[in-house]
Amino acid sequence: MIRGRKPRKYNTCQCCGSLFERWRKGDGNWTLAEYCQQCRYQKRSPLWASVKKTREANRCATLQQIGDKYGVTKERVRQILSREQLPTRAIIERKIVYCLHCGKETPNLKFCSHECQQAYHSVEAVCSQCGRMFSLRQSELIARTKHNTTGLLFCSKQCYGKWFGTNYGRGCRTLVNRCI
C-alpha cells in the first residue's frame, strides 16, 4: 500500500483486457488493482450479470419485477442498470383493442366510429300501429317500457296519435260502451 498521491500507471484488465489505472483507493490508501471497475462490479456480485441478462432478454419487465425475481429493491436494480448503461424504463406493450360492433382494431377505444357505436346500442322494434321496423337506443327502449302499461311501441308521434284516436277518440266503441 502506498500513502499520499496516486501514481499514474496503467494496467490491462485480467478479465476483459481493457486499459485502466492500476491503482484504486480503498480505506484511504492506494492499492494495486487487477481488474477494471466494470469487471470488479461483475466479480463482486453475480447479481449484476443476472440483472443485466434479464433486462436484455425482457425489455418489458419493470424494475420491481426484476427486483422481486432476485430479492433486491427496484432502486438497486435501477443502480445496476444505469451503471451498465442499460435502459431503466420498461417498454410498455400496447394493448390491441377491437371494436365491439364490427371487430376492427381500434386505438384504445371501444368503437371504431360513431356509426358502430350507434349500431351497437340500438335495438330493432316493430311499430304497434303501422307494423314498420324502426330502431331505437337500448336505454330509450327501457324508458319507454318501464311505465308503459299497454306494452305497445310506436315509431312516431303520428302513429301514437292514430292509435290513441282509434282506441280513445271520438266515436270509439270503448267510450260509447262506457257511457251507455
Torsion, CA 12, CA 14, CA 17, CA 22, rounded to 10: -30
Q: What is the pTM of this model?
A: 0.40
- Which has more pLDDT, 32 or 158? 158
Q: pLDDT band at 110, cuts 50/70/90? A: confident
Would you say residue 71 has pLDDT above 50?
yes
CA distance linking residue 101 with residue 123, whole number of Å: 13
Question: How large is the greatest C-alpha to C-alpha distance in the chain, in angstroms?
Answer: 127
CA distance linking residue 78 with residue 67, whole number of Å: 9
CA distance linking residue 141 with residue 124, whole number of Å: 10
- Which has more pLDDT, 118 or 13? 118
pLDDT at 64: 92
Residues 6+ away with beta carbon under 8 Å from 180: none
Instruction: State the DSSP H helix or E strand holding residue 95, giving kind and residue range, or none if neither.
Output: none
Mean local confidence (pLDDT), 151-179: 74
CA distance linking residue 148 with residue 128, whole number of Å: 13
Mean local confidence (pLDDT), 109-127: 88
Would you say residue 180 has pLDDT above 70?
no
- Which has more pLDDT, 60 or 108? 60
Would you say residue 2 has pLDDT above 80?
no
Mean local confidence (pLDDT), 154-159: 89
CB 104 within 8 A of CB 98: yes
Number of Cβ within 10 Å of residue 87's Cβ equals 10
Q: pLDDT band at 38, cuts 50/70/90? A: low
Rounded to 5 degrees, φ, ψ at 53 are -65, -40
CB 161 within 8 A of CB 148: no
Would you say residue 169 has pLDDT above 50?
yes
CB 61 within 8 A of CB 53: no
